[in-house]
Structure 1
Amino acid sequence: MEDARRWLKKGLPVHPLTDGYMRRYGIERWVAQEELIDIGYREEVQIEAYEKEGVEWEFMYDPCSGEMKPVPIGTKKHELHLF
Protein backbone atom coordinates (compact mmCIF):
# COMPACT_ATOMS: atom_id res chain seq x y z
CA MET A 1 0.00 0.00 0.00
CA GLU A 2 2.90 2.37 0.71
CA ASP A 3 4.29 1.82 -2.79
CA ALA A 4 0.84 2.49 -4.21
CA ARG A 5 0.55 5.74 -2.25
CA ARG A 6 3.94 6.91 -3.55
CA TRP A 7 3.01 5.91 -7.10
CA LEU A 8 -0.32 7.74 -6.92
CA LYS A 9 1.15 10.85 -5.27
CA LYS A 10 2.94 11.53 -8.54
CA GLY A 11 -0.48 12.08 -10.12
CA LEU A 12 -2.92 9.71 -11.75
CA PRO A 13 -0.44 7.71 -13.82
CA VAL A 14 -2.86 5.82 -16.08
CA HIS A 15 -6.43 5.82 -17.22
CA PRO A 16 -8.39 3.84 -16.34
CA LEU A 17 -6.72 3.88 -12.94
CA THR A 18 -8.10 0.53 -11.78
CA ASP A 19 -6.71 -1.27 -14.84
CA GLY A 20 -3.28 0.28 -14.36
CA TYR A 21 -3.30 -0.62 -10.67
CA MET A 22 -4.26 -4.21 -11.51
CA ARG A 23 -1.40 -4.51 -14.00
CA ARG A 24 1.14 -2.88 -11.70
CA TYR A 25 0.37 -5.08 -8.69
CA GLY A 26 -0.89 -8.25 -10.43
CA ILE A 27 -4.19 -8.35 -8.57
CA GLU A 28 -7.85 -8.86 -9.42
CA ARG A 29 -10.20 -5.97 -10.17
CA TRP A 30 -12.17 -6.17 -6.91
CA VAL A 31 -8.95 -6.14 -4.86
CA ALA A 32 -7.61 -3.16 -6.83
CA GLN A 33 -10.89 -1.30 -6.33
CA GLU A 34 -10.91 -1.95 -2.58
CA GLU A 35 -7.29 -0.86 -2.18
CA LEU A 36 -7.80 2.28 -4.27
CA ILE A 37 -10.87 3.17 -2.21
CA ASP A 38 -8.89 2.61 1.01
CA ILE A 39 -6.14 4.93 -0.27
CA GLY A 40 -8.70 7.65 -1.05
CA TYR A 41 -9.69 7.19 -4.69
CA ARG A 42 -13.34 6.22 -4.15
CA GLU A 43 -14.66 8.79 -6.62
CA GLU A 44 -12.29 7.74 -9.41
CA VAL A 45 -13.12 4.05 -8.89
CA GLN A 46 -16.87 4.76 -8.93
CA ILE A 47 -16.66 6.85 -12.11
CA GLU A 48 -14.60 4.18 -13.85
CA ALA A 49 -17.14 1.54 -12.86
CA TYR A 50 -19.99 3.65 -14.27
CA GLU A 51 -18.12 4.21 -17.52
CA LYS A 52 -17.22 0.52 -17.83
CA GLU A 53 -20.89 -0.42 -17.38
CA GLY A 54 -22.13 2.32 -19.72
CA VAL A 55 -23.98 4.14 -16.94
CA GLU A 56 -24.52 7.86 -17.48
CA TRP A 57 -23.58 9.73 -14.32
CA GLU A 58 -23.48 13.20 -12.83
CA PHE A 59 -22.26 14.88 -9.67
CA MET A 60 -24.89 15.60 -7.02
CA TYR A 61 -24.47 17.46 -3.75
CA ASP A 62 -25.21 15.34 -0.68
CA PRO A 63 -26.29 17.73 2.08
CA CYS A 64 -25.80 15.07 4.77
CA SER A 65 -22.11 14.55 4.01
CA GLY A 66 -21.44 17.94 2.44
CA GLU A 67 -19.82 16.21 -0.55
CA MET A 68 -20.35 16.14 -4.27
CA LYS A 69 -20.88 12.52 -5.28
CA PRO A 70 -20.83 10.83 -8.68
CA VAL A 71 -24.18 9.09 -9.07
CA PRO A 72 -26.21 7.63 -11.94
CA ILE A 73 -28.34 10.22 -13.71
CA GLY A 74 -31.82 10.18 -12.23
CA THR A 75 -30.72 9.42 -8.67
CA LYS A 76 -33.15 10.93 -6.18
CA LYS A 77 -31.87 13.06 -3.30
CA HIS A 78 -33.16 10.60 -0.72
CA GLU A 79 -31.02 7.87 -2.36
CA LEU A 80 -27.70 9.74 -2.08
CA HIS A 81 -26.76 7.94 1.12
CA LEU A 82 -26.46 4.74 -0.95
CA PHE A 83 -23.46 6.12 -2.86
Structure 2
Amino acid sequence: MTDISSTQAQADRPSAGAIQSELMAEAAAKRARSSNLRPLLRLLPYLTRRPADLAAAGVFSVVAAAATLALPLAAKYLVDRGL
Protein backbone atom coordinates (compact mmCIF):
# COMPACT_ATOMS: atom_id res chain seq x y z
CA MET A 1 0.00 0.00 0.00
CA THR A 2 1.36 3.40 -0.95
CA ASP A 3 1.45 6.14 1.65
CA ILE A 4 0.16 9.35 0.06
CA SER A 5 -0.25 12.56 1.98
CA SER A 6 -3.81 13.81 2.29
CA THR A 7 -3.06 17.04 0.40
CA GLN A 8 -1.71 15.13 -2.58
CA ALA A 9 -4.71 12.80 -2.52
CA GLN A 10 -7.05 15.79 -2.48
CA ALA A 11 -5.21 17.42 -5.37
CA ASP A 12 -5.48 14.25 -7.46
CA ARG A 13 -9.23 13.82 -6.95
CA PRO A 14 -11.87 16.49 -7.54
CA SER A 15 -14.57 16.81 -4.93
CA ALA A 16 -18.04 15.44 -5.50
CA GLY A 17 -19.37 18.97 -5.82
CA ALA A 18 -16.82 19.83 -8.50
CA ILE A 19 -17.74 16.73 -10.48
CA GLN A 20 -21.46 17.51 -10.20
CA SER A 21 -20.88 21.11 -11.24
CA GLU A 22 -18.90 20.00 -14.29
CA LEU A 23 -21.58 17.49 -15.29
CA MET A 24 -24.31 20.13 -14.99
CA ALA A 25 -22.31 22.60 -17.09
CA GLU A 26 -21.80 19.98 -19.80
CA ALA A 27 -25.50 19.09 -19.81
CA ALA A 28 -26.47 22.76 -20.06
CA ALA A 29 -24.12 23.26 -23.00
CA LYS A 30 -25.72 20.32 -24.85
CA ARG A 31 -29.30 21.55 -24.33
CA ALA A 32 -30.78 23.76 -26.99
CA ARG A 33 -32.00 27.14 -25.78
CA SER A 34 -35.74 27.46 -26.11
CA SER A 35 -38.20 30.24 -25.43
CA ASN A 36 -41.22 28.05 -26.06
CA LEU A 37 -44.05 28.92 -23.66
CA ARG A 38 -46.33 26.14 -24.86
CA PRO A 39 -45.86 24.01 -21.69
CA LEU A 40 -47.20 26.92 -19.64
CA LEU A 41 -50.38 26.98 -21.73
CA ARG A 42 -51.24 23.58 -20.26
CA LEU A 43 -51.77 25.36 -16.93
CA LEU A 44 -54.33 27.76 -18.39
CA PRO A 45 -57.43 25.60 -17.69
CA TYR A 46 -56.47 25.35 -14.02
CA LEU A 47 -55.77 29.07 -13.73
CA THR A 48 -59.03 30.16 -15.32
CA ARG A 49 -61.06 28.15 -12.81
CA ARG A 50 -59.89 30.35 -9.94
CA PRO A 51 -59.43 33.92 -11.27
CA ALA A 52 -59.58 35.48 -7.79
CA ASP A 53 -56.71 33.29 -6.62
CA LEU A 54 -54.73 34.17 -9.74
CA ALA A 55 -55.28 37.89 -9.13
CA ALA A 56 -54.34 37.54 -5.46
CA ALA A 57 -51.16 35.69 -6.42
CA GLY A 58 -50.25 38.52 -8.79
CA VAL A 59 -50.91 41.18 -6.16
CA PHE A 60 -48.92 39.33 -3.51
CA SER A 61 -46.04 38.82 -5.95
CA VAL A 62 -45.88 42.57 -6.56
CA VAL A 63 -46.07 43.28 -2.81
CA ALA A 64 -43.27 40.78 -2.14
CA ALA A 65 -41.08 42.36 -4.83
CA ALA A 66 -41.73 45.84 -3.42
CA ALA A 67 -40.90 44.68 0.10
CA THR A 68 -37.68 43.10 -1.13
CA LEU A 69 -36.67 46.36 -2.76
CA ALA A 70 -37.69 48.42 0.29
CA LEU A 71 -35.69 46.46 2.88
CA PRO A 72 -32.29 47.92 1.93
CA LEU A 73 -33.79 51.42 2.01
CA ALA A 74 -35.18 50.80 5.48
CA ALA A 75 -31.80 49.50 6.65
CA LYS A 76 -30.11 52.60 5.20
CA TYR A 77 -32.59 54.84 7.01
CA LEU A 78 -31.92 53.05 10.30
CA VAL A 79 -28.17 53.31 9.88
CA ASP A 80 -28.26 56.97 8.82
CA ARG A 81 -30.75 58.13 11.48
CA GLY A 82 -29.72 55.74 14.22
CA LEU A 83 -31.85 53.29 16.10
TM-score surpassing 0.5? no
Structure richer in helix, relative to its length? 2
TM-score range, shorter chain: under 0.3
Higher relative contact order (CA 8 A, sep 6+): 1
**TM-score for the superposition, normalised by structure 1:** 0.21
Q: Tell me the TM-score normalized by structure 2.
A: 0.21
Structure with higher Rg: it is 2
Q: Which has more strand, going by share of residues? A: 1
